[in-house]
């Protein structure tokens, strides 16, 4: 299903999904944290947490450490992310007006806090060289089962090129997933479409997609509008999500072959 943000996010933490409340079937808390310049935000709770900087400048203070991060572009710059275990104290100080994605999950494993600078983040071009490059996109993975075995969450970003597809060919997995969308170059009119199971939704700036386990979820951005989205997954018992966890729908998996023949209009142009 799709959730629209009917009003502008307010100062402070804006909850979208809740472990013990709305959309609890996602098994994660997810929200947007807005901090005006000079604001201070404290976090300490019995959950694993990840703070992803979307825009602005933030001082991350944790475990007697301090990292100062700045980000001006969702499309052209990779994020800074802080991941901490349950009980850890975190203080965020906004040096400029800032916006962050906050993800939380139940995790009783104790681990050291991890700070992911842009150079630590895995960035790949998916779909390149296949399907006439109609689904080429940038996929950024901050952490998953490959590099964060201690975590109960997965966090990343996708840059869906204008007029192209992502999460394609259609795939599914046993874990619940959340997509949160932005249209950085055209927030008022940018749009795309997303399918969840048999339902198709029109995607707008600041909307959120709730994807239940085992439902396919291909996406497409309208021509002219680059579509950015954060993707968040909660691991399920015995089923941790990693690079090879996507299960492509059988009837569309043939498209993954780079040598596959796809119809192309060869008529002369007059």
Amino acid 270: pLDDT: 56
Tell whether 265 is covered by a domain. no
Which residue from 173, 175, 172, 177 is spatially nearest to 232, judged by alpha carbons? 177
**Structural tokens at position 46:** 């019995």
Q: In which domain, by residue range, is 249 found?
A: 9-256
**Structural tokens at position 268:** 């002369």
Entry pTM: 0.95
221 within 8 A of 159, measured Cβ to Cβ: no
Amino acid 3: pLDDT: 85
Tell whether 90 is covered by a domain. yes
Q: What is the CATH number of the domain that holds 83?
A: 2.60.120.10
* Alpha-carbon span 256 to 248, nearest angstrom: 9
Task: Write the DSSP symbol of residue 48.
Answer: E
Tell whether 46 is covered by a domain. yes
pLDDT tens-digit series, residues 113-161: 999 999 999 999 999 989 999 999 999 999 999 999 999 999 999 999 9
Taking the chain, what is the end-to-end CA distance rounded to the nearest angstrom?
45
**Structural tokens at position 253:** 């998996």
Tell whether 261 is covered by a domain. no
Tell whether 266 is covered by a domain. no
Report residues of the chain scoring pLDDT below 70: 6-7, 268-270
Tell whether 263 is covered by a domain. no
Q: What angle do CA 181, 238, 198 make, to 5 degrees?
A: 40
* Alpha-carbon span 97 to 86, nearest angstrom: 27
Give the chain's domain count: 1
- For residue 76, CA distances in Å to 63, 79, 123, 248 come to 30, 10, 12, 29
Amino acid 238: pLDDT: 84
Tell whether 122 is covered by a domain. yes
185 within 8 A of 225, measured Cβ to Cβ: yes
Amino acid 36: pLDDT: 98
Tell whether 267 is covered by a domain. no
Amino acid 198: pLDDT: 95
């Amino acid at each position: 299903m799709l959730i629209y943000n009917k009003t502008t996010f307010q100062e402070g933490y804006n909850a979208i999904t809740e472990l013990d409340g709305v959309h609890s079937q996602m098994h994660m808390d997810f929200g947007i944290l807005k901090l005006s310049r000079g604001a201070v935000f404290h976090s300490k709770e019995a959950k694993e947490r990840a703070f992803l900087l979307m825009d602005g400048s933030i001082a991350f203070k944790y475990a007697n450490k301090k990292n100062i991060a700045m980000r001006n572009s969702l499309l052209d710059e990779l994020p800074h992310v802080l991941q901490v275990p349950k009980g850890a104290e975190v203080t965020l100080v906004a040096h400029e007006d800032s916006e962050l994605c906050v993800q939380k999950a139940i995790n009783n494993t104790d681990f050291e806090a991890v700070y992911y600078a842009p150079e630590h983040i895995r960035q790949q071009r998916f779909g390149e060289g296949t399907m006439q490059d109609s689904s080429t996109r940038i996929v950024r993975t901050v952490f998953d089962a490959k590099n964060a075995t201690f975590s109960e969450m997965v966090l990343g970003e996708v840059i869906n090129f204008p007029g192209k597809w992502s999460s394609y060919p259609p795939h599914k997995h046993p874990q619940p997933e959340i997509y949160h969308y932005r249209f950085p170059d055209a927030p008022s009119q940018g749009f795309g479409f997303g399918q969840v199971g048999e339902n198709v939704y029109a995607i707008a700036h600041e909307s959120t997609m709730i994807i239940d386990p085992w439902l396919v979820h291909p996406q497409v951005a309208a021509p002219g509008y680059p579509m950015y989205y954060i993707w968040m997954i909660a691991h399920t018992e015995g089923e941790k999500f990693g690079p090879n966890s996507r299960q492509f729908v059988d009837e569309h998996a043939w498209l993954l072959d780079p040598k596959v023949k796809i119809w192309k209009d060869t008529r002369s142009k007059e």
